[in-house]
Amino acid sequence: EAQVTQNPRYLITVTGKKLTVTCSQNMNHEYMSWYRQDPGLGLRQIYYSMNVEVTDKGDVPEGYKVSRKEKRNFPLILESPSPNQTSLYFCASSSTQRGSYEQYFGPGTRLTVT
């Protein structure tokens, strides 16, 4: 089944404790992206990747890191989480080839930083 998976789905952590949220897709998509969703602010893009080893900042990259060493994986790293990073995070992927522009979303990771 074509899907985007994220782990963990729920995470409660403390300020300053490094964490990684994994994202994996099995559709051989070139493009992957991370969003955070906050009430009243919609989805804001954190980072995106057009292909392996190609990443770029979105609208709200501060406090986050990403890497894209393999096509299927796009982990989101919070080196020193802070309470303002408490949010719902979504990973998404899509093909960049002609006629295949739809983004597929993961189930979300709800992060609480205390």
Partner 1 sequence: AQSVSQHNHHVILSEAASLELGCNYSYGGTVNLFWYVQYPGQHLQLLLKYFSGDPLVKGIKGFEAEFIKSKFSFNLRKPSVQWSDTAEYFCAVNARYGGSQGNLIFGKGTKLSVKP
Residue 90 interacting with partner 1 (CB under 8 A):
yes
What would you report as the CA-atom Rg of the chain, rounded to the nearest whole angstrom? 13
Residue 47 interacting with partner 1 (CB under 8 A):
no
Least gap, CB of 31 to partner 1 (angstroms): 8
Q: Distance between CA 16 and CA 8 in Å, rounded?
A: 18
If 0-12 CB within 10 Å is exposed, 13-18 middle and 19+ buried, where does residue 93 land? buried
Residue 1 interacting with partner 1 (CB under 8 A):
no
Interacting residues with partner 1 (CB under 8 A): 31, 33, 35, 40-45, 48, 58, 90, 92, 94, 96-99, 101-103, 105-108
